[in-house]
């Protein structure tokens, strides 16, 4: 256990350093003069020069890299070009609405994904199974932003049941907050729901074939006890491992979904920053989301090793 943790920590650290390097390289990949592109084609030369100096773009590669890592260790990811505030402040400001949206979508994913997957597995090869699995594969095939727009047409344009977009903070109005998150979180959750339902079904079918399930049935336990206690607990193990992937997909989806529903979150910050070529914000958002993903995976693995003593690091 101790050696496993040590190994896991070291590889996490290596990945974090690499993640940061890749984020740093985004600005280096810009063809031509990044300062000119950030300032805009019509900017006067002294403005371009000011930006070049501000971001150290006139320095050699290794100096820029040291600046980046040095800043990162102090919690400083630079300054936004368009928002006149630090990148960290801009991201922290927008985090709550993304967390709320992703949280809603995560709950939807977990509840409907698990129920659908277990239900399909228990009724394997029946019409229930076929219907659920068809819906699941459709769920992983439709673009989330398109479903979002279709839902806006259905629930906000044709009938005025839910807002077509915008975000209400929970402090302003709890019910408004809830209503503003319904459509976007459904649109965001569909892909992960389909994915989780498919994984859960496959795992459940495998678990139900195991000897200990047959033993439980043979000793006369009720169907509910067998499925609910013995089988389901074992299904949860692989499900825990996909939580990292689900989280990553939620953040990916938030870029388009927050754009469709005008939610002022991290995803929309990213989408507007690519239009304004605000590279420091793009770099910062990349780094922070990837670092969160790496740390969540670390936590999942540690939890996993704690729960299942058979796991060794190799």
- Least separation in angstroms between CB 170 and other proteins: 25
DSSP code per residue over 43-98 = --HHHHHHHHHHTTTTS-HHHHHHHHHHHHHTT---B-SSSSSBHHHHHHHHHHHH
- Least separation in angstroms between CB 268 and other proteins: 10
3-state SS assignment for residue 236: helix
The contact set with other proteins (CB under 8 A) reads: 11, 14-15, 18-19, 21-22, 26-27, 29-31, 137-138, 140-143, 145-146, 149-150, 152-153, 157, 164, 195, 198-199, 202-203, 238, 242, 245, 248-249, 251-253, 255-256, 259-260, 270-271, 273-275, 277, 279, 282-283, 285-286, 289-291, 293-294
Query: Would you tell me how many other CB atoms lie within 10 Å of the CB of residue 253?
Result: 25
Pick 195 or 216: Cβ nearer other proteins = 195
Pick 178 or 304: Cβ nearer other proteins = 304
- Least separation in angstroms between CB 91 and other proteins: 13
- Least separation in angstroms between CB 134 and other proteins: 9
Pick 86 or 200: Cβ nearer other proteins = 200
**What is the C-alpha separation between 123 and 137, in angstroms, rounded?**
18
Pick 142 or 168: Cβ nearer other proteins = 142
Residues 6 or more apart whose CB falls under 8 angstroms from that of 142 comprise 190
Pick 12 or 169: Cβ nearer other proteins = 12
- Least separation in angstroms between CB 227 and other proteins: 21
Residue 310 tokens read as 């058979």
Counting every residue written for the chain, the total comes to 314
Q: Are 23 and 290 in contact (CB under 8 A)?
A: yes
């Amino acid at each position: 256990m101790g050696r496993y943790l040590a190994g896991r920590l070291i590889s996490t650290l290596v990945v974090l350093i690499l993640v940061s390097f890749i984020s740093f390289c985004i600005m280096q990949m810009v063809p031509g003069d990044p300062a000119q592109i950030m300032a805009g084609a019509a900017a006067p030369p002294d403005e371009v020069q000011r930006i070049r100096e501000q971001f150290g773009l006139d320095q050699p590669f290794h100096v820029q890299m040291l600046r980046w890592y040095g800043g990162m260790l102090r919690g400083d990811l630079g300054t936004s070009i368009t928002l006149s505030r630090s990148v960290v402040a801009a991201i922290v400001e927008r985090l709550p609405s993304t967390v709320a949206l992703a949280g809603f979508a995560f709950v939807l994913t977990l509840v409907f994904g698990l129920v659908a997957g277990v239900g399909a597995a228990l009724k394997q090869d029946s019409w229930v199974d076929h219907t659920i699995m068809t819906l699941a594969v459709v769920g992983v095939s439709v673009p989330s932003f398109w479903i979002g727009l279709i839902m806006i047409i259905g629930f906000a344009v044709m009938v005025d049941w839910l807002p077509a977009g915008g975000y209400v903070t929970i402090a302003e109005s709890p019910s408004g907050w809830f209503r503003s998150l319904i459509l976007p979180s459904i649109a965001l959750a569909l892909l992960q729901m389909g994915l989780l339902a498919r994984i859960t079904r496959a795992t459940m079918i495998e678990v139900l074939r195991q000897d200990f399930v047959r033993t439980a049935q043979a000793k006369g336990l009720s169907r509910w006890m067998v499925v609910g206690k013995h089988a389901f607990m074992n299904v949860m193990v692989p499900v825990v491992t996909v939580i990292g992937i689900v989280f990553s997909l939620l953040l990916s989806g938030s870029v388009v979904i927050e754009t469709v529903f005008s939610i002022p979150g991290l995803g929309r910050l990213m989408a507007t920053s690519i239009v304004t070529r605000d590279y420091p914000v793009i770099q910062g958002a990349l780094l922070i989301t990837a670092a969160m993903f790496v740390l969540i995976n670390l936590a999942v693995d540690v939890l996993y090793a704690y729960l299942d003593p058979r796991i060794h690091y190799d």
